[in-house]
Structure 1
Amino acid sequence: MTTTPASNTPRFDPNFTQHVIDSMGPNTSPRMREVMASLTKHIHDFAREVELTEDEWMQGVQLINWAGQMSNEKRNEGQLLCDIIGLESLVDEITYKKASKATTSATRSAILGPFFRKDHPIREKGATISFNTPDDAEIVYMYGSVLDAATKKPLPNATIDVWEASTNGLYEQQDDHQVDSNLRGKFITDVNGEYAFYCLKPTDYPVPDDGPAGKLLNLLDRQPYRPAHIHLVAVIDGFKPLITQIFDKDSKFLDNDSVFAVQDSLLVEFVPRNGDEKAKLELDTVDALGDELAKNSQMYMGQHGHVLTFPIEKGKTMNVVAFRTKPDGKISSGWGNKVTSMISLMEKVDVWALFEHPPAPTYYKGRSCILGDAAHASTPHQGAGAGQAIEDAYILLHRLGLAASAADITQAFKVYDAVRRPRSQSIVTTSKDAGCLYVMEDEEVGSDMDKTRENLLARNDWIWGNDLKAQFREAKDATMK
Structure 2
Amino acid sequence: MNIVTTPDSVLPIALDAMARTPNPRLREVIASLTRHLHAFVQEVKLSEEEFEQALDFIVAIGQATGEKKNEVVLAADILGISTLVALQNNQDPQGESPSALLGPFWRANAPDCACGDSIARSGTPGVPLFVSGVVRDGQGRPLADAMVDVWQASPVGLYENQDPTQENMNLRGRFRTDAEGRYHFRSVRPAGYPVPVDGPCGVLLKAQRRHPNRPAHLHFMVSKPGFKVLVSQVYADDDENLESDPTFGVTRRLIGRYALQPDGQSATLAYDFQLEPGETKFPRPPIP
The two structures share one fold, judged by TM-score above 0.5: yes
Residue in 1 that maps onto 2:43: 49
Pick the aligned partner of 1:152 from 140, 156, 165.
Answer: 140
In structure 2, distance between residues paired with 1:158 and 1:195: 9
CA contact (8 A) 2:19 2:27 kept: no
Write out aligned runs for 1:70-81 (5 A).
Answer: 70-81=64-75
Give the superposed CA RMSD: 1.9
Pick the aligned partner of 1:251 from 239, 242, 255.
Answer: 239
Alignment length (residue pairs) = 270
Correspondence 1:218 to 2:206: yes
TM-score when normalising by structure 2: 0.88
Cα offset, 1:199, TM superposition: 1.4
Cα offset, 1:92, TM superposition: 1.2
Secondary structure of 1:218's aligned partner: helix
Cα offset, 1:132, TM superposition: 2.3
2:87 maps to amino acid? E
Secondary structure of 1:282's aligned partner: strand
Correspondence 1:139 to 2:133: no
Residue in 2 that maps onto 1:285: 271
Question: What are the ranges of 5 or more consecutive residues in structure 2 without an aligned counterpart?
Answer: 276-288
Residue in 1 that maps onto 2:97: 107
Correspondence 1:199 to 2:187: yes
Correspondence 1:208 to 2:196: yes
Secondary structure of 2:221's aligned partner: strand
Secondary structure of 2:238's aligned partner: coil
In structure 1, distance between residues paired with 2:155 and 2:64: 24
2:49 maps to amino acid? D
Q: 1:85 to 1:12 in 2, by over 3 A?
A: farther
In structure 1, distance between residues paired with 2:109 and 2:69: 14
Cα offset, 1:273, TM superposition: 4.8
Residue in 2 that maps onto 1:381: none
In structure 1, distance between residues paired with 2:194 and 2:33: 31
In structure 1, distance between residues paired with 2:62 and 2:258: 38
1:141 maps to amino acid? F
Residue in 2 that maps onto 1:314: none
Larger Rg: 1
2:238 maps to amino acid? D
Q: 1:209 to 1:91 in 2, by over 3 A?
A: same
Cα offset, 1:128, TM superposition: 0.7
Q: 1:47 to 1:169 in 2, by over 3 A?
A: same
Cα offset, 1:93, TM superposition: 1.4
Correspondence 1:165 to 2:153: yes
Greater fraction of residues in helix: 1
Pick the aligned partner of 1:124 from 101, 109, 114.
Answer: 114
For each residue in 1:420-445, what CA deviation from the matched residue of structure 2 results, as whole angstroms up to 9, or x when unmatched? xxxxxxxxxxxxxxxxxxxxxxxxxx
Residue in 2 that maps onto 1:28: 22
| Identity among equivalent pairs (%) | 37
CA contact (8 A) 1:73 1:117 kept: no
Secondary structure of 2:89's aligned partner: helix
Structure with the larger RCO, 1 or 2 (CA within 8 Å, 6+ apart): 2
Cα offset, 1:269, TM superposition: 1.2
For each residue in 1:142-193, what CA deviation from the matched residue of structure 2 results, as whole angstroms up to 9, or x when unmatched? 0111100x21001111111111111111111111111111111111111111
Secondary structure of 1:255's aligned partner: helix
Cα offset, 1:249, TM superposition: 0.4
In structure 2, distance between residues paired with 1:143 and 1:274: 18
In structure 1, distance between residues paired with 2:243 and 2:19: 46
CA contact (8 A) 1:74 1:116 kept: no
CA contact (8 A) 1:248 1:267 kept: yes
Pick the aligned partner of 2:7 from 5, 13, 24.
Answer: 13
